[in-house]
């Protein structure tokens, strides 16, 4: 079995409900949810001219490899009506694999750890809440230390 951290975000519609539905859909796909962070409100990242986001992170356990997990998450986004109009644009749901075990993957389809996660308080904060001692496999630092440096 593998453990992965999945970031969830929404800034369209009923944001909290979107995150709750996504978590339920993850469970329905046979992926075990081990922990879920608090849901926090954050300012947009990248493209600023949009509504604020609600963000959370869940720690999951799965038998799926990282690429299969990505396909499941993209399918959930599609099921929920996600439209990819432009980078960092508004979205009803966003599901990103941040970490998958301690693997480092760099391919056209998937990059793990998520390449910009260490710069995002809305990712490092929730991960620090549920697994503060998890070590970033590239930076070789605990997520809580990375998060504290961002504050």
3-state secondary structure of 140: coil
Single out the catalytic residue among 91, 120, 133, 145: 91
Q: Is the peptide bond before 113 cis (omega within 30 degrees of 0)?
A: yes
Looking at 16, 49, 82, 84, which residue is catalytic? 82
Is residue 141 among the annotated active site residues? Answer: no
The yes-or-no answer on residue 91 being catalytic is yes
Tokens of 38: 């608090």
User: Bridge-partner residues for 57, per DSSP?
Assistant: 7
Q: Is 94 a catalytic residue?
A: yes
Q: 96, 116, 145, 149: which is the annotated catalytic residue?
A: 96
Count Cα neighbours of 143 within 13 Å in the Cβ-side half-sphere: 25
> Taking the CB of residue 96, how many other CB atoms lie within 10 A of it?
17
Of the residues 51, 71, 94, 149, only one is catalytic, namely 94
Catalytic residues: 82, 91, 94, 96
């Amino acid at each position: 079995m593998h453990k992965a951290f999945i970031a969830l975000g929404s800034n369209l519609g009923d944001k909290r409900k979107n995150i709750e539905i996504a978590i339920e859909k993850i469970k329905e796909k046979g992926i075990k949810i081990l922990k879920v962070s608090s849901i926090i409100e954050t300012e947009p990242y990248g493209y600023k001219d949009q509504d604020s986001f609600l963000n959370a992170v869940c720690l999951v356990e799965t038998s799926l490899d990282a690429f299969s997990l990505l396909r499941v998450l993209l399918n959930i986004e599609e099921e929920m009506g996600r439209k990819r109009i432009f980078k960092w644009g508004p979205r009803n749901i966003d599901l990103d694999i941040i970490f998958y075990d301690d693997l480092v993957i760099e391919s056209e389809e998937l990059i793990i750890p998520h390449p910009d996660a260490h710069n995002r308080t809305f990712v490092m904060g929730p991960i620090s809440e549920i697994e503060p001692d998890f070590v970033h496999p590239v930076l070789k630092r605990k997520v809580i230390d990375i998060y504290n440096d961002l504050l």
